[in-house]
Amino acid sequence: MRILITGGGGQLGHDLREVLVEHEVESFDHSGLDITDPDAVFRAVDRITPDWVINAAAFNDVDGAETAADQAFAVNAIGPGNLAEAAARSSAAMMHISTDYVFDGRKGSPYTESDIPNPLSVYGRSKYEGELRVLGSGENTMVVRTAWLYGRYGKNFVTAIRAGATRGSPLRVVADQIGSPTATLDLARAIARLITSPIRGLLHAVNAGSCSRYEFARAIVGTGTEIIPIASAEAARPAPRPTNATLVSERWHLTGIDPLRPWEDALKDFLRTIP
């Protein structure tokens, strides 16, 4: 298949390029294609005539989005809408990567695709608007929500915790935020199979299980580093986070694909592959 990837410079984009190597892939980072520019998007899609457009581009600065709402909405909402419109005009399928932050975390149990989003932050609202624009553009679209991504490329929670442990000082990590840690390589492999599946619409794709940020940090560095559990209020971050935005899927069985493995197994394998 011919596949156009946006956000190719990010951690998921890197892994997608490697996993989809058997296909004809054209990958763009922001400098190569500004998805907020509809003319540029239409030109790229018209030139490539892809079978799939996969959007992994995002404004991911959750705290920064609180004071940069226009930019966050441009990248996370308008951009995906442009891609979806161009894909529909070209008869291509469209996949958009979204986030658990579309939920407020107050449900008290894992969120499925049937749950109604209620984002708390500018980032969450912009991502939800992107979902609506993509799904509203036609039937040949898919939104894949995922969470707490980490991989070999770029900044993420795993690299931040490992860097903090290297500095040797005690780490202060919130213990009242719960989610679904997900390895980008596992997600990329799942996406590689999803594009051969007839399923469309909304889908949750995360490594199985859940943990708190504190438990995740402890699993990353083991017992050799002092980690102090704190409350979210003590962290005093500008953007509110969902308390428990664990994701599960009630639709995954329709794909015919094995569910993603437990997060603990994915993390152990990941840690074995990095210095």
Q: Which two tokens stand for residue 115?
A: 């749950």
List for the chain the helix, strand, coil content (%; round to 5). 40, 20, 40
Q: Are 142 and 194 in contact (CB under 8 A)?
A: yes
CA dihedral for 68, 70, 71, 75, sign (positive or negative): positive
| 73: Cβ contacts below 8 Å, ≥ 6 apart | 122, 125, 126, 129
- Distance in angstroms (rounded) separating the CA atoms of residues 17 and 29: 12
Q: How far apart are the first and last CA of the chain?
A: 34
Q: Are 192 and 22 in contact (CB under 8 A)?
A: no
- Distance in angstroms (rounded) separating the CA atoms of residues 223 and 185: 26
Q: Which two tokens stand for residue 137?
A: 């553009």
Annotation says 111 is catalytic: no
User: Which whole-number Å values give the CA distances from 172 to 68, 91, 180, 235, in the listed order?
Assistant: 27, 49, 20, 8
What's the chain's length in residues?
275
Point out the catalytic residue in the list 123, 128, 150, 214: 123
Annotated catalytic residues are 123
